[in-house]
Chain A
Amino acid sequence: MSDAALTQALPRPARLALGETATAWLLSAPAIIAYLLMLLLPTLATIALAFTDFELGATGFAWIGLDNFAEMLSDRGFMTSLRNTIIYVGLVTPGSIAGALALALLIEAGTRGRTFFRAVFFLPVVSLTVAMAAAWQYLLHPSIGPLNAMLRVAGLGAPEWLSSSSTVLLSLAAIGIWENLGFNLVLFLAGLTAIPRELYAAAEVDGARHAWQRFRLVTWPMLGPTTLFVLTITMIRAVRVFDTVAVLTQGGPNKASQVLLYTMYEEGFTYFRLGYSAAITLVFLAIVLAMMWLQTKVLDKRVHYG
């Protein structure tokens, strides 16, 4: 009441020295300039580049329409890279979601060690990826790596992991799961705490005696929106895989670990074929946008329990 009285007593107290419009634009000006220079113009330039044959160091360039995109279709390197990226995303997404959900349920099921285990699983998220990639390289080393040493003790074979084209993508995906799990875990923990306790009591009254029944009847449906959100977030993060590939395999052996961003990097910054690299960037952007579109679609529809 007193607030309302105060604002009424004073004729428009928010009178600005400069006028509201001018002030607002002045305050936003640095952000707008940086936005134009560092975000909007470069993005438009990438789109334009994708339709040229521009190469760094060449004297001129020509508009070549969709030729870059046509070249992709017949470029085995690019097609391998696209396929590898899809496989990588297809492995990391379910792996890190299932792992994170299982661990979140385990952590939530009791009171002991919550903060401790959350910290342990979250550690990879804050660790320098390049350094941890080096640690993984040692861990997975075919001859001196501790993992193969353990497998030998157990009498199992010693795979080549990162140095064989049949296991390299699998090894990178395992590292990817390890990297993303903690992040998803924290999101699931937030989703789990939001479930009202009374629902579990109600389910028990209705005869859901086993933990599994309670999970199926209460946790899983209530966690639906979180799971869908985590799903799209993980896909968007996984499709951006670059660091581990750049450090550990450089796309090898024999292109078996080429992924979209690494191919884009190589074409653009190693071979300086900027036009072609920009076209690959647009494919990457299209995939990310499709995932975001899916996210808004799915979340709009499914967030409410209907």
Chain B
Amino acid sequence: MAERATPLYRDTPRLLLLALAGLIMLMPYIWMVAASMKPLDEIFRASLTLLPERFHAIENYGKVFARIPVGLYLWNGLVVCGGILFFQLLFAVPAGYALAKLRFPGKEFVFGAVMLGLLVPPHVQALPLYVAFSQLGLLNSYTALIAPFTISVFAIFLFRQFFKSLPDDLIHAARLDGFSEMAIVWRVVLPNAWPAATAFSIFSVVAHWNDLFWPLIVVNGQDYATPALGVMYFRSAEAGDDFGALMAAAVIMTAPLVIAFLLAQRRFVEGIATTGLKG
């Protein structure tokens, strides 16, 4: 509570407690990385030393790259997350603008539908969507992975709230300059709503990179497997009890988002904690 700096010796107990809690939090990461560098016999000895006696990282990581198409999984994750985000923004930004800045009959109704949509978790639509995609022969495709998430009522809600706070004069001025409404949405309103757009993008990418439920339902086999599915396949079929290689696979698939998080920590925390409330 003190605003002036406390001397270090008085701060030490607090820092020690935090460090201890942090160490417990990081336990899975520490052992995951450690095991990914150990040969199997050392892992099975279950000793408590973190550093490997014989450095086996090249073999473990090599095994992962040799056995599963790591690049393909990461690429699929990128395509799916990118595709979902692209359509979410493409659909939600104009709708959010209409709800925030235009007057039209039926507006209350549309906004009511958005609020209603916020109540329904995405798991509820899974069964009929699965049947529909299966009838259309679209299982095992990017379409099946992306299409159900193209509509984000949360994004519409978020952008509407944010656009509402933008001054009307900004839009009037653009209209006087001869901008079409489409141009206003993408070239005037969106650039001024950058914080909301970044926050939502981070939230969306994290949610879908980590999602297992829907990919598990619509994807079978390697071709369209996302990183989450990739780890699962490697675990059940290829690796068995080969924990060294399994941990190496886990490290590889977790790394992209964790690195992004460490680089842009503040944005991630804000993006997920402020927008993720509805997640």
- Proximity string of chain A (64-97) to chain B, C-beta cutoff 8 Å, 1 when within and 0 when not: 0000000000000000000000000000000000
- Say whether A43 contacts B127, CB under 8 Å: no
A30 on the B face (CB < 8 A): yes
Question: Which of A124, A265, A289 interacts with B213 by CB under 8 Å?
Answer: A265
The interface residues of chain B lying within 8 Å CB-to-CB of A117 are 18, 22
The interface residues of chain A lying within 8 Å CB-to-CB of B104 are 20-21, 23-25
Interface centre among B210, B266, B279 (most CB of A within 10 A): B210
- Proximity string of chain B (226-267) to chain A, C-beta cutoff 8 Å, 1 when within and 0 when not: 011101100100000001001101110110011011100110
The interface residues of chain A lying within 8 Å CB-to-CB of B37 are none
- Say whether B125 contacts A183, CB under 8 Å: no
A51 on the B face (CB < 8 A): no
The interface residues of chain A lying within 8 Å CB-to-CB of B251 are 131
Given contacts A110-B14, A130-B232, A288-B121, contact A27 B254 (CB under 8 A): no
- Say whether A134 contacts B123, CB under 8 Å: no
- Say whether B258 contacts A183, CB under 8 Å: no
B166 on the A face (CB < 8 A): no
The interface residues of chain A lying within 8 Å CB-to-CB of B105 are 21
- Say whether A247 contacts B217, CB under 8 Å: no
- Say whether B212 contacts A246, CB under 8 Å: yes
- Proximity string of chain B (4-17) to chain A, C-beta cutoff 8 Å, 1 when within and 0 when not: 01101001001101
- Say whether A31 contacts B156, CB under 8 Å: yes
The interface residues of chain B lying within 8 Å CB-to-CB of A59 are none
- Say whether A134 contacts B128, CB under 8 Å: no
Shortest Cβ gap from A208 to chain B (Å) = 12
A253 on the B face (CB < 8 A): no
- Proximity string of chain A (263-289) to chain B, C-beta cutoff 8 Å, 1 when within and 0 when not: 011001100001001100100110011
A8 on the B face (CB < 8 A): no
Interface range for B: 35 or more
The interface residues of chain B lying within 8 Å CB-to-CB of A107 are 18
- Say whether B228 contacts A16, CB under 8 Å: no
Given contacts A144-B43, A144-B44, A200-B1, contact A127 B257 (CB under 8 A): yes
The interface residues of chain A lying within 8 Å CB-to-CB of B266 are 115
The interface residues of chain B lying within 8 Å CB-to-CB of A220 are none
- Say whether B129 contacts A38, CB under 8 Å: yes
B165 on the A face (CB < 8 A): no
A275 to B59, CA, bound (A): 48
- Proximity string of chain A (126-141) to chain B, C-beta cutoff 8 Å, 1 when within and 0 when not: 1111111011101101
- Say whether B107 contacts A128, CB under 8 Å: no
Shortest Cβ gap from A233 to chain B (Å) = 6
Shortest Cβ gap from B206 to chain A (Å) = 6
- Say whether A128 contacts B210, CB under 8 Å: yes
Question: Which of A3, A143, A281 interacts with B46 by CB under 8 Å?
Answer: A143
- Say whether B254 contacts A128, CB under 8 Å: yes
The interface residues of chain B lying within 8 Å CB-to-CB of A126 are 206, 257-258, 260-261, 268, 272
A3 to B170, CA, bound (A): 11
- Secondary structure call for the B interface: helix
- Say whether B94 contacts A31, CB under 8 Å: yes
Number of interface residues of A (CB under 8 A): 102
A23 to B102, CA, bound (A): 8
Shortest Cβ gap from B226 to chain A (Å) = 9
Shortest Cβ gap from A47 to chain B (Å) = 9
Given contacts A27-B94, A138-B32, contact A46 B124 (CB under 8 A): yes
- Say whether A31 contacts B125, CB under 8 Å: no
Shortest Cβ gap from A58 to chain B (Å) = 12
Within 8 A of B (CB), among A197-217: 197, 200, 214
Question: Which of A14, A103, A141 interacts with B172 by CB under 8 Å?
Answer: A14
Given contacts A120-B22, A146-B48, A246-B216, contact A129 B6 (CB under 8 A): no
- Say whether A31 contacts B29, CB under 8 Å: no
A132 to B94, CA, bound (A): 38
Interface centre among B1, B182, B251 (most CB of A within 10 A): B1
- Proximity string of chain B (35-50) to chain A, C-beta cutoff 8 Å, 1 when within and 0 when not: 1000000011111100
Interface centre among A42, A113, A144 (most CB of B within 10 A): A42
A31 to B117, CA, bound (A): 12
A125 to B261, CA, bound (A): 10
Provide 12 A-B residue pairs closer than 8 Å at the C-beta atoms, listed in order of the A residue: A24-B107, A28-B95, A35-B151, A39-B117, A111-B6, A125-B272, A126-B268, A134-B231, A135-B28, A138-B32, A146-B48, A284-B123
Residues of chain B whose beta carbon lies under 8 Å from any beta carbon of chain A? 1, 3, 5-6, 8, 11, 14-15, 17-18, 21-22, 25-29, 31-32, 35, 43-48, 87, 90-92, 94-95, 97-99, 102-107, 110, 113, 117, 119-121, 123-132, 134, 147-151, 153, 156, 168-169, 171-172, 175-176, 180-182, 185, 206, 209-210, 212-213, 216-217, 227-229, 231-232, 235, 243, 246-247, 249-251, 253-254, 257-258, 260-262, 265-266, 268-269, 272-273, 276-277, 279
Q: Which 3 A-B pairs have the closest CB atoms?
A: A42-B125, A45-B128, A131-B250
